[in-house]
Amino acid sequence: MPGTVPQEPWPTDVGIIAVEVYFPSQYVDQAELEVFDNVSTGKYTIGLGQSKMGFCSDREDINSLCLTVVQKLVEKNQLSYNDIGRLEVGTETIIDKSKSTKTVLMQLFESSGNHSVEGLDTTNACFGGTSALFNAINWIESSSWDGRYAMVVAGDIAVYATGNARCTGGAGAVAMLIGKDAPLVFDRGVRSIYMQHAYDFYKPNMDSEYPLVDGKLSVKCYLHALDKCYEAYTQRATQTGIIGENASLIDSADAFVFHSPYCKLVQKSFARVFLNDFLKEPSPDFSGRYAGLESFRNLKLENSYFDRDAEKALMTASNSLFTTKTKPSLLLANQVGNMYTPSLYGGLVSYLLSVSPADLIGHRVVLFSYGSGLASAMFSLRITKDLGPKFHKLLENLSNVKKDLHDRVKVAPEEFDKTMKLREETHNKAPYAPVGSTKELFPGTWYLTEVDSMYRRMYDRVPLVQIPNGNVKN
């Protein structure tokens, strides 16, 4: 059912109109996990900067996560499924080598009769959601656009084998409604891309949910990609006037949101942007912003990925800017862990929830997306200058996030470990009847009820809670 074919070739203010986030209702405490894993106290909580890690039982898979977040976005915004002309899924949680999660989501569209929905799944580690988002923006700005909204879903279950990477897992999904005249508007002409072949993190074993990870290489690749994206983004942002003449990138934006494998890497990444600005600065102020950095003036980017002295000095020098411009975006990353594709967008949601709406007016947010293998991008958006109803609605619909984080159930590391073993043993099993409890799931959560002998997956939904005025609580 096509919408009205738009008259103007360039729809204005294309961006995010609404956003919904979903994370599991159970978590393991990182301090308790340190004890269970027999690592030194503080390694996960201070060394990596993580507090809690969300995880799924065998009741949830990539399809159920996406069903949950899409339906909630539609319900909260009173949308009709007919309003959506494109639906994209970004994920690296693959449970079928042919049938996309997008096609599973078409069940939600069935009763509307809308089968005219472009878009499929996109995969490359944590970058698939960003690629899906770019597809959606491009569609709206193209001659193929039929005037309807695009919806982008980023979802993943991030699990690692026993060992030093396991504590950097997480799970969740973010759905975004993309359209014109949006309250969060993507900047045009500045998107920078860096892609390269690397075996830093990959999933060649189809029988396992776990990746093969070269942890140190993945950190190096992430920081290298960040340097490259910084270079191209700053060039374009200078040409388009986002970065003023002789100004630095850090001063040109109110917030920097990064893909977060773990929070400490994000702090190091902010320090890296600071380093890039510092190296470009013709006459750095060593008694002010760049105090303590004199000896790093001739640092070479490519030799400094694991230079601990430089890293420490840069993190100290950039700490107050990090605290205002990036730390507020780390709420979900710290409380849920690495959600993979939704991680960056969870960062954006966290930032939006960190201050009062009035304090967000006109803010520019720079985003860095990274997916191992590798694919990366730096791009930016600006928050509307007027606090219109769309902006209020966007924020109002996120008002459950902090309460839901708080209301989750803490599970002992022993139980978490058992759940991981169960997922290992039953991954791709058919027929299979999941055994995980559905009692703790949030209202409105879709869950797996059965995998039949033909590997077909069946789902059901936890009812929404009725509240006394007859409405439903999402």
Q: Does 134 bind ligand ACO (CB under 6 A)?
A: no
Enumerate residues 343-372 that contact ligand ACO by CB under 6 A.
372
The 8-class DSSP code of residue 297 comes to T
**Minimum separation from the CB atom of position 42 to ligand ACO (A):** 3
The 8-class DSSP code of residue 355 comes to S
Binding residue (CB under 6 A) for ligand ACO from 11, 36, 37, 43: 43
Binding residue (CB under 6 A) for ligand ACO from 18, 28, 95, 165: 165
Rg (CA), the chain: 22
Query: By the 8 A CB rule, do 347 and 330 touch?
Result: yes
**Minimum separation from the CB atom of position 68 to ligand ACO (A):** 23
**Minimum separation from the CB atom of position 218 to ligand ACO (A):** 4
Helices 343-352 and 128-140: crossing angle, nearest 10°? 70
The 8-class DSSP code of residue 10 comes to S
Query: By the 8 A CB rule, do 317 and 293 touch?
Result: yes
Enumerate residues 109-128 that contact ligand ACO by CB under 6 A.
126
Nearer to ligand ACO, 104 or 226 (CB): 226
Binding residue (CB under 6 A) for ligand ACO from 47, 328, 413, 443: 47
User: Across-strand partners of 312?
Assistant: none
* The two three-digit tokens of residue 371, written as one number: 């997916």
Distance of CA 204 to the CA centre of its chain: 23
Query: How far, in Å, CA of 30 to CA of 11, rounded?
Result: 46
Nearer to ligand ACO, 340 or 442 (CB): 340
Torsion sign across C-alpha atoms 11, 15, 18, 21: positive
Q: Is 92 a residue of the active site? A: yes
Q: Does 174 bind ligand ACO (CB under 6 A)?
A: no
Q: Count the alpha carbons within 13 Å of 439 in the hemisphere toward its beta carbon.
A: 3
The three-class DSSP label of residue 5 is coil
Q: Is 259 a residue of the active site? A: yes
Binding residue (CB under 6 A) for ligand ACO from 104, 154, 213, 249: 213
Q: Is 126 a residue of the active site? A: yes
Nearer to ligand ACO, 47 or 443 (CB): 47
* Count of Cβ atoms closer than 10 Å to residue 422 Cβ: 15
Stretch that binds ligand ACO, among 39-47, 148-156, 285-293, 327-335 (CB under 6 A): 39-47
Stretch that binds ligand ACO, among 38-46, 90-98, 293-301, 389-397 (CB under 6 A): 38-46
**Minimum separation from the CB atom of position 364 to ligand ACO (A):** 25
Query: By the 8 A CB rule, do 174 and 344 touch?
Result: no
Query: How far, in Å, CA of 380 to CA of 364, rounded?
Result: 7
Active-site residue among 224, 229, 259, 311? Answer: 259
Nearer to ligand ACO, 74 or 213 (CB): 213
Alpha helices in 244-339 (DSSP H): 249-252, 263-280, 308-317, 319-325, 331-336
Nearer to ligand ACO, 215 or 357 (CB): 215
Footprint of ligand ACO on this chain (CB under 6 A)?
Answer: 40-43, 46-48, 126, 164-165, 168, 201, 213, 215-216, 218-219, 222, 261, 264-265, 338, 372
Q: Would you name the residues annotated as active-site residues?
A: 92, 126, 259
